[in-house]
Amino acid sequence: MAVYKIIEIVGTSPKSWEDAAQSALLTASKSLEDLRIAEVVKQDVTLENGKITSFRVRLNISFKFRAGE
């Protein structure tokens, strides 16, 4: 039986929400092992002078929890 931990991360990109999610997951995968699920919780954009400057994605990600580590 396995136990999984869920955390929230935020990714940003000047290109798209998809790119923001990919960037967040690539960064998270460098320090977390056995990533299993990524759920988009919220999407938004930042604006400057009425124009979109960045896309942001909030993700809940789950990974295998190892006791004692």
Q: What is the band of 64 on the pLDDT scale with cuts at 50, 70, 90?
A: confident
Q: Judging by DSSP bridges, how do beta strands 35-48 and 51-64 pair with one another?
A: antiparallel
Residue 69 has pLDDT above 60, yes or no: no
Q: What is the pTM of this model?
A: 0.83
**Per-residue pLDDT averaged across 18-42, rounded?**
95
For the chain, the maximum distance between any two Cα atoms, rounded to a whole number of angstroms, is 52
15, burial (CB in 10 Å: exposed 0-12, middle 13-18, buried 19+): exposed
Query: The domain 4-64 is classified under which CATH number: 3.40.50.2000, 3.30.70.1170, 3.40.50.80, 3.30.1660.10?
Result: 3.30.1660.10
Where along the chain do its domains lie? 4-64
Rounded mean pLDDT, 27-32? 94
Q: For residue 15, give the DSSP letter.
A: S
